[in-house]
Amino acid sequence: MPGAWQVRRVWARWLAVGLASLGWMGLPGWQGVAAGLERPAPADVAATPYDEVVRKVEGMVADDAVRSLAQKYGLDVINLTWEDTGRYAGSAVGPNISDMTIQVHHGTKDWPQMTCMPVIRYPNFSDLTADLPIGKFLVRTGNEKGQALKTTPLGAVLEDPRAFMSDPRSWAGTGTTLLAEKDTHFLVSAQACFLPIPKEGEATFNPVLFNYQSRPGDPAVLAILVTREGTSMTVIDNQRDAVPGGWGFGQRLFFNSNGQKASLTGKRLSDFHDPSPARPSGSSFGDEAKAGQARGLNMVLLVQVPLKQKTPPVLYETEGKMMTFEDVAPAVAPSNVEAAVIGHGALEGPFVEFDKLDIERDPRFPVRVTVQFYKATDNGVVSEEDMRAIKEQLDLVYKDATYIGSLVVPASNDPDRPTDWKPTRPRL
């Protein structure tokens, strides 16, 4: 069972489970109890037109029409997802658990804001996952050194991380690999992420990861962010690159541009003009054209590599902040959802990779890959056709899996899975 050191904000997970059972998860705010929180602007700071777009898209998590459509297809609409590499069966907690949010930039220069965006996926608690062979995943590398991009197996990046780092000296010690003997398969889940993007507009955002076990100097996971523009690795300590404003939790993830960090950007596919089309990431799932994946332009992989910790984790006090409940007017405008092309923005300072730590792979837990498909909308309206397409797109990720199911609430006849960190039945 989990010790006291694991309880920081875990109450929020149990609360979410209880509210879901009561049908109360439609209330805005419960989805983001443990997420980054938006600071209320002073009265003399006027909202911008883009702030209104952000508000409409943010409100999808409380929109009865959107939620009902998602439930029709067995999906959920949330703004905080559970992306765990090690969770106890039948539980919301475990020895290596992470929360993920997508936080978009808005506001003014003097009063910048970050707000959690909606994600459509299978429900958090049961956490439907797939075991896919590691050879299925190809990524683009070279961005970390400012070189031409090339296609590289994700397994090769884990096997020799130093070869794909801006500064190999960032990894202290003599370690050479983060690939474990058990890594024949990765633990995979899929989700659709919505960004507030007006016509001919652009969103700037960061995936934000909070790992309950990580702390400064002793990370429990290495995060690898993969886009069509390259691969970026950083350790998660929950402190560096925190959400600005002091009201947020988690660590922002950035693109590594030759050793400099940059937030991600999203544009509408209909507004995107690539003067030199590059071969997309080799990670593809089924018929991309059928699923509207835009040749990988809107796909992002968030990879978590479990790490051994040096000392027993210390006791954390529970700290959670709750977003205020607000009524969200039902959306009546037509849907304008389309694929969002993901790029990167202005450089913001040095990119930290392994932070000069002597990290080591924890082979008990699987590598988790969260496949994200980004969508653009400026009004938060989702049609039945949109939801059906999202369902088909997510299911294509699971289509070629060796195993599909839940490690948290496994069925009695489920086979043993290569990604199961703690088998629930004796192996015969």
Distances 58 to 151, 268, 353, 422 between C-alpha atoms, Å: 35, 18, 31, 37
| pLDDT tier at 274, thresholds 50, 70, 90 | confident
> Tens digit of pLDDT for each residue in 24-37?
444 433 343 444 45
DSSP string, 195-248: EE--TT-EEEEEEEEEESS-BTTB-SEEEEEEETTEEEEEE--SSTTBPTTTT-
Q: What is the pLDDT of residue 285?
A: 55
Ranges 133-147, 327-341, 354-368: which has the least confidence: 327-341
106's tokens: 């808005």
> Tens digit of pLDDT for each residue in 180-192?
999 999 999 999 9
pLDDT at 425 exceeding the cut of 90? no
88's tokens: 């106890």
| Average pLDDT for the chain | 85
Taken as a whole, the chain contains a residue count of 428
- Percent over 70 (pLDDT), the chain: 77
pLDDT at 16 exceeding the cut of 80? no
Q: What is the pLDDT of residue 410?
A: 87
Q: Decide: residue 2, CB within 10 A, 0-12 exposed, 13-18 middle, 19+ buried.
A: middle
* Tokens 């970050």 found at: 114
Q: Which residue has the higher pLDDT, 144 or 313?
A: 144
Q: Which residue has the higher pLDDT, 131 or 410?
A: 131
Q: Which residue has the higher pLDDT, 110 or 361?
A: 361
Task: Judge contact between 39 and 113, C-beta under 8 A.
Answer: yes
End-to-end CA distance of the chain: 25
Containing 268, the helix (H) or strand (E) segment is strand 260-268
Instruction: Count other Cβ atoms within 10 Å, centred on residue 415.
Output: 12
Task: Judge contact between 371 and 122, C-beta under 8 A.
Answer: no
pLDDT at 269 exceeding the cut of 80? yes
Q: Decide: residue 273, CB within 10 A, 0-12 exposed, 13-18 middle, 19+ buried.
A: exposed
Q: What is the pLDDT of residue 173?
A: 93
Question: What region, left, alpha or beta, does residue 347 occupy, with left being phi > 0 and alpha being psi -120 to 50 degrees?
Answer: beta
Give the ranges where 36-149 is alpha helix by DSSP (H): 49-58, 64-72
Residues 6+ apart with CB under 8 A from 37: 247, 248, 321, 323
Task: Judge contact between 32 and 110, C-beta under 8 A.
Answer: no
Q: What is the pLDDT of residue 78?
A: 97
Strands (DSSP E) along 111-213, which ranges? Answer: 112-116, 119-121, 128-133, 138-141, 150-153, 185-196, 202-211
Helix (H, G, I), strand (E, B) or coil at 306: strand
Q: What is the pLDDT of residue 44?
A: 60
